[in-house]
Structure 1
Amino acid sequence: MQSIPVPSVQELAKKSLIKVPDQYVIPEGESVLASNATSLPQVPVIDLSKLLSKDLKELEKLNHACKEWGFFQLVNHGVSTSLRENMKRGTVELFELPMEEKKKLWQKEGDIYGFGQAFVFDEKQKLEWADGFVTASLPTHLRKPRIFNQLPQLFRESIDTYSVELKNLAIEMMKLMGNALAIDPNEMTEIFTEGTLTIRINYYPPCPEPERVIGLKAHSDLGGLTILLQTNDVQGLQVKKDGQWIPINPYLVLSSSTLETS
């Protein structure tokens, strides 16, 4: 997965724009709007503590979530509030760095690590109204020293702890999903033996014409599991179910196209 460097949308948004530059305006018909909230199905909520206590009803709920949805909200997941708050704080502070400091962490052409956007292959390509930041986290030898070693020390420490917690959580969820789907749990975990973990952080600046842009295009994730953490209460994330876009608030677990079931 490679990309070419793009300008900072966060810096662009600081210019008190009245209109969005053409490169960010999405073609008509490509906007994604949530369906009528009063008639939408509810995203499954899975309680990890019940799964760990061998609750068969909760296991059946997980089976349904995997087969019929492909994502679910996870509660009682065991990742401490203090650790999540440290990650949120570090994320906010990362995007508050002066632009001169961010430039040291900007993507290089042909790479995805650092500040920028993914899957940008052409200078004329339509861009998303968002800045992203990507770093490899686990195993540690995959980290790019140019990127990871330049992060604030407290944020690096939070990433270290958070990554281990999420790796353990992901492995546990893979095993439980295997049980729910009547698949050997070892087969589920063997697919991802090295346990690689990449952290992607997205920032969506205010926009003068929000109806003409998109923060993140509709997509399916690569890899095994995606675990999402939201830094504030601004609703924006949507998932697609039976042709309807449903707004949700994570902590959310999404299975990727690699783990599709039928």
Structure 2
Amino acid sequence: TESEMARSPKREGTTTPFLAATGQEATAAIPPAFIRCKAERPKVPHDHFADAIPVVSLAGLDSGNGAARLSRLRNIATALEQWGAFQVVDHGVDAALISTMLDLSTRFFALPAEDKLRFEMTAGGCGGFVHSNRIFGEDVENWREFVSFFSYPVHSRDYAMWPSRPEGWRKVVERYCDASLELASRIMEVLSECMGLEKGAFMEACLQVDQKMKVNFYPKCPQPELTLGLSRQTDPGAVTLVLQDQVGGLQLTRDGGRTWLTVRPVPGAFVVKLGDYFH
């Protein structure tokens, strides 16, 4: 799910939609609630990309035992040992669906604040819209907006908290969740093989399969060197699939946060990250 940990430094700019949503005006300086201590501030810009995380094709992994397949499995195993993550292409998720999902996400976060707040997550809620937030145990706010909800099992879907705008959101998100869940199942099979187990070992070990969908938006920030879109963390669960746009910003560390690597966005690729289940 996250490699070891991941965070997102912020882009230059002046607009802060979520601050407007909370009744604050965007200014040349960010409010104190968002300012990180020096040790937690971004060390690498969001667009200083590195290529240490391999890009692996799933083409040909579903059949055969040839040298090319074994080489890909070794590449995945090495990436997981070193970073807990890799990027995957030729994964079977329709490119048009990915493009539509990204477009709808952009259009949702561009809506007026009052439209987004109609779906605001309440205290103790399991889904909805959130503008800025704190990771549990932290005092500093994260510079982001997001929509989050459970999408599998199907009976866990609370459609009342799913945005009704832009038009087509629900239909597209349902298709995207189904496709990404299918991909996650394939990834679990690949991970089983990488660890020398039978192909279905990890899926069989899961007593219940849950899926949570989260769509993040990191608004432009007047002082990106002082804050984070998402602070250092690991993810619960087994596997997280991250679809980046071309702005980038996902960062990984393997030394406790002393150094960070910014994952280069690859069009149409998913970043596969191992969660706490595997650690």
Same fold (TM over 0.5): yes
For each residue in 1:184-212, what CA deviation from the matched residue of structure 2 results, as whole angstroms up to 9, or x when unmatched? 33330124343321111111111111111
1:198 maps onto 2:212 in alignment: yes
1:234 maps onto 2:247 in alignment: yes
Matches within 5 A, 1:147-186: 147-148=161-162, 150=164, 152-186=166-200
Report the alpha carbon displacement of residue 112 of structure 1 after superposing the two structures with TM: 4.6
In structure 2, the residue matched to 1:254 is: 273
Higher relative contact order (CA 8 A, sep 6+): 2
For each residue in 1:154-188, what CA deviation from the matched residue of structure 2 results, as whole angstroms up to 9, or x when unmatched? 11111111111111111111011101111233330
Alpha-carbon distance in structure 2 between the residues aligned to 1:257 and 1:44: 21
The 3-state SS of whatever aligns with 1:129 is strand
1:244 maps onto 2:248 in alignment: no
Matches within 5 A, 1:2-17: 10-12=17-19, 15-17=25-27
Matches within 5 A, 1:100-119: 100-116=114-130, 117=132
1:30 maps onto 2:40 in alignment: yes
Alpha-carbon distance in structure 1 between the residues aligned to 2:252 and 2:136: 26
Report the alpha carbon displacement of residue 135 of structure 1 after superposing the two structures with TM: 1.3
The 3-state SS of whatever aligns with 2:147 is strand
In structure 2, the residue matched to 1:222 is: 236
In structure 1, the residue matched to 2:91 is: 77
In structure 2, the residue matched to 1:5 is: none
Stretches of structure 2 that go unaligned for 5 or more consecutive residues are 1-15
Report the alpha carbon displacement of residue 110 of structure 1 after superposing the two structures with TM: 1.9
1:43 maps onto 2:53 in alignment: yes
Alpha-carbon distance in structure 1 between the residues aligned to 2:244 and 2:234: 19
| Greater share of helix | 1
The 3-state SS of whatever aligns with 2:59 is helix
Alpha-carbon distance in structure 1 between the residues aligned to 2:51 and 2:253: 11
**Equivalent of 1:95 in 87, 106, 109:** 109
The percent identity for this pair of structures is: 26
Stretches of structure 1 that go unaligned for 5 or more consecutive residues are 1-8
For each residue in 1:122-166, what CA deviation from the matched residue of structure 2 results, as whole angstroms up to 9, or x when unmatched? 8x9310111111011112211123202745451111111111111
Letter of the structure 2 residue corresponding to residue 10 of structure 1 = P
Report the alpha carbon displacement of residue 67 of structure 1 after superposing the two structures with TM: 2.2
**Equivalent of 1:20 in 24, 30, 52:** 30
For each residue in 1:19-59, what CA deviation from the matched residue of structure 2 results, as whole angstroms up to 9, or x when unmatched? 11000111121113239x99966112211013224411111
TM-score, scaled relative to structure 2: 0.81
TM-score, scaled relative to structure 1: 0.85
Report the alpha carbon displacement of residue 118 of structure 1 after superposing the two structures with TM: 5.5
In structure 2, the residue matched to 1:58 is: 72
The 3-state SS of whatever aligns with 2:200 is helix
